[in-house]
A and B are shown apart, each in its own frame.
Chain A
Amino acid sequence: MTRTSLAAVRPTRREFLQAAGSVTTMALTIGFEWLGPSRRAAAAGASPAVFAPNAFLRIGADGSVTVIAKHVEMGQGAYTGIATVLAEELDADWAHVRVESAPANVKLYANSAFGMQGTGGSSAMANSWSQLREAGAKGRAMLLTAAAKDWKVPVTELTTEKGVVFHAGSKRKAGYGSLTAKAAALPVPDKVTLKDPKDFKLIGRHVPRVDVPAKVDGTAVFTLDVALPGMLVALLKRPPLFGATVKSFDPTAASAVPGVVKVVQVPHGVAVVARSFWAAKQGRDALVVDWDDTHAEKRSSSEMMNEYRHLAEQPALSARKVGDAVPAIKNAAHTVSASYEFPYLAHAPMEPLDAVVKLTATSCEIWAGDQFQTVDQANAAKTAGLDPQHVSINTLYAGGSFGRRANVGSDYIVEAVSIAKAYGADGTPIKLQWTREDDIHGGLYRPMYFHKLEAGLNEKKELIAWRHVIVGQSIMAGGPFEVMVKNGIDPTSVEGAATIAYEIPNIDVELSTTRSAVPVLWWRVVGSSHTTFAVEAFIDEVAHAAGKDPFAFRRDLLGHEPRMKAVLELAADKAGWSAPLPKGKGRGIAVGEAFNTYVAQVAEVTVDDAGRVTVDRVVCAVDCGIPINPDVIAAQMEGGIGFGLGAVLYGAITLKNGRVEQDNFNNYRVLRINEMPKVEVHIVPSAEAPTGVGEPGVAPIGPAVANAIFAATGTRVHLLPFPKSSKA
Chain B
Amino acid sequence: MSTSFVLNGASTTLDADPAMPLLWAIREVSGLHGTKFGCGMALCGACTLHVDGEAVRSCVMPLSSVAGKQVTTIEGLQSKAAKAVQAAWIQLQVPQCGYCQSGQVMSATALLEKNTAPTDADIDGAMSGNICRCATYSRIRAAIHAAAQSIKA
Q: Which residues of A contact B (CB under 8 A)?
A: 73-77, 208-209, 211-222, 224-225, 227, 233, 258, 276-278, 348-352, 397-402, 433, 435-436, 631, 635, 638-643, 645-646, 664-666, 670-674, 676, 678-679
Q: How many A-B residue pairs have CB under 8 A?
A: 177
- B111-153, CB under 8 A of A: which get 1 and which 0? 0000000000001100110111111111111000000000000
Q: How far is the CA of A474 from the CA of B96 in the complex (A)?
A: 30
Residues of A within 8 A of B31 (CB): 227
- CB of B39 within 8 A of CB of A216, answer no
B5 on interface, CB distance cutoff 8 Å:
no
Residues of A within 8 A of B95 (CB): 75, 209, 211-212, 215-216
Q: How far is the CA of A666 from the CA of B101 in the complex (A)?
A: 20
- CB of A278 within 8 A of CB of B93, answer no
Please provide the 6 A-B residue pairs with the shortest distance between their CB atoms, ordered closest to farther: A642-B135, A218-B34, A399-B99, A215-B98, A75-B97, A75-B96
- Would you give 9 A-B contacts (Cβ < 8 Å), ordered by A? A75-B96, A209-B95, A212-B90, A350-B44, A352-B37, A399-B98, A400-B134, A631-B93, A664-B40
Residues of B within 8 A of A631 (CB): 93
Q: How far is the CA of A216 from the CA of B106 in the complex (A)?
A: 10
Among the listed B37, B73, B93, B138, which residue makes an inter-chain contact with A224, where contact means beta carbons less than 8 Å apart? B37
- CB of B97 within 8 A of CB of A397, answer yes
B36 on interface, CB distance cutoff 8 Å:
yes
B102 on interface, CB distance cutoff 8 Å:
yes
Apart from A219-B34, A351-B99, A401-B97, what are 19 other A-B pairs with CB-CB below 8 Å?
A75-B98, A215-B98, A216-B101, A217-B74, A217-B86, A221-B33, A258-B17, A277-B27, A277-B28, A350-B97, A350-B99, A351-B38, A352-B38, A400-B133, A635-B93, A639-B136, A671-B137, A672-B128, A673-B132
- CB of B21 within 8 A of CB of A350, answer no
- CB of B20 within 8 A of CB of A276, answer yes
- CB of B44 within 8 A of CB of A674, answer no
B7 on interface, CB distance cutoff 8 Å:
no
Q: Which residues of B contact A (CB under 8 A)?
A: 17, 20-21, 24, 27-29, 31, 33-41, 43-44, 46, 73-75, 77, 86, 89-90, 93-102, 105, 123-124, 127-128, 130-141
- CB of B139 within 8 A of CB of A638, answer yes
With A218-B35, A643-B134 as contacts: A212 and B100 at CB distance below 8 Å: no
- A308 CB to closest chain B CB (Å) equals 28
- A78 CB to closest chain B CB (Å) equals 11
Among the listed A224, A398, A401, A674, which residue makes an inter-chain contact with B124, where contact means beta carbons less than 8 Å apart? A674
Residue in B94, B123, B133 with the greatest tally of chain A CB atoms within 10 Å: B133
Q: How far is the CA of A225 from the CA of B73 in the complex (A)?
A: 15
Among the listed A225, A277, A351, which residue makes an inter-chain contact with B97, where contact means beta carbons less than 8 Å apart? A351
Question: Quick one: closest B residue to A645, CB to CB?
Answer: B135
Q: How far is the CA of A162 from the CA of B116 in the complex (A)?
A: 40
- A261 CB to closest chain B CB (Å) equals 15
Residues of A within 8 A of B127 (CB): 673
- A216 CB to closest chain B CB (Å) equals 5
